[in-house]
């Protein structure tokens, strides 16, 4: 009986991991297709965008940080803005600027949520109890919980407002923003790949084939790594939330 149960358990785990791997591969393929389509559509605008960045000079990064922050405050998807950062500035400068814009977004959302939208956000929490996990978690686990939710990744703008009306401290809220970096790296990298592919399509870049193979392969590895990180973070979140919220997380 024990051997039979063990066999069934191992078979279930194998099917689970195989399905998860298939999901990751399909997701990676779809993102690569999206990058190719993005490169196709931005091909005609790449020169124009680069000219605009040059005309702004040193103000270009400042405009991007404040513009992206304001857009993210009103729930424009953070992933779209991260891809834009990669297209406009490349990988590492784009990653830095995107992270700075998210820090500014977090500060603005914290202030707006705590002083102007508290009633509205509390109504969201009443309708969706799992959003109240930070107040229900023990104080010593709130920083870890916020960090894991950033890794998971949860909706960036919504999480900012939920934290704003909770009892979390501002410094913990800001430290937890480090958790967005893996996701940012993946999305900014996607934008950078689209930038190079659009240049190649427009005849403005002539790198060897291996350069693009390694670039796209690196994006695939980044996507797979991010999916594994997100899965691990979500499992750890379920370990930290109070027992009465676990059914809500599973739903």
Task: Please give the share of the chain, as a percent, with pLDDT higher than 90.
Answer: 35
In angstroms, rounded to a whole number, what is the distance separating the alpha carbons of residues 201 and 199?
A: 5
Chain segment 22-67, per-residue pLDDT in tens: 665 666 566 656 666 665 665 556 667 667 777 888 899 999 999 9
pLDDT mean across residues, the chain: 79
**Quick one: angle between helices 181-201 and 2-56, nearest 10?**
60
Write down the domain spans for the chain: 2-250
Largest CA distance in the chain: 74
In angstroms, rounded to a whole number, what is the distance separating the alpha carbons of residues 117 and 128?
A: 17
Chain segment 83-142, per-residue pLDDT in tens: 889 988 999 999 999 999 999 999 999 999 999 999 999 998 888 877 788 888 788 888
Structure tokens at 184: 């940012």
In angstroms, rounded to a whole number, what is the distance separating the alpha carbons of residues 126 and 134?
A: 14
């Amino acid at each position: 009986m024990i051997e039979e149960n063990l066999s069934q358990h191992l078979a279930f785990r194998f099917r689970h991991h195989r399905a998860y791997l298939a999901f990751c591969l399909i997701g990676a393929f779809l993102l690569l297709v999206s990058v190719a389509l993005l490169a196709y559509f931005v091909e005609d605008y790449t020169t124009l965008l680069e000219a605009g960045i040059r005309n702004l000079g040193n103000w270009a990064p400042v405009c991007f940080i404040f513009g992206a922050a304001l857009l993210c405050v009103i729930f424009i998807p953070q992933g779209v803005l991260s891809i834009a950062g990669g297209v406009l500035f490349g990988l590492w400068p784009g990653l830095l600027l995107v992270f700075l814009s998210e820090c500014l977004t977090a500060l603005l959302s914290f202030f707006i949520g705590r002083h102007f939208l508290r009633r509205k956000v509390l109504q969201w929490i009443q309708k969706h109890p799992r959003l109240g996990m930070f107040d229900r978690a023990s104080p010593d686990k709130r920083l870890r919980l916020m960090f894991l939710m950033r890794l998971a990744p949860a909706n960036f703008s919504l999480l900012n407002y939920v934290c704003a009306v909770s009892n979390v401290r501002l410094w913990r809220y800001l430290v937890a923003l480090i958790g967005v970096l893996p996701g940012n790296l993946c999305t900014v990298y996607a934008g950078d790949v689209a930038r190079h592919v659009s240049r190649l399509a427009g005849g403005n870049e002539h790198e060897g084939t291996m350069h693009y193979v390694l670039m796209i392969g690196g994006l695939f590895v980044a996507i797979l790594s991010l999916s594994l990180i997100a899965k691990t973070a979500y499992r750890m979140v379920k370990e930290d939330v109070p027992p009465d919220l676990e059914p809500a997380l599973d739903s």
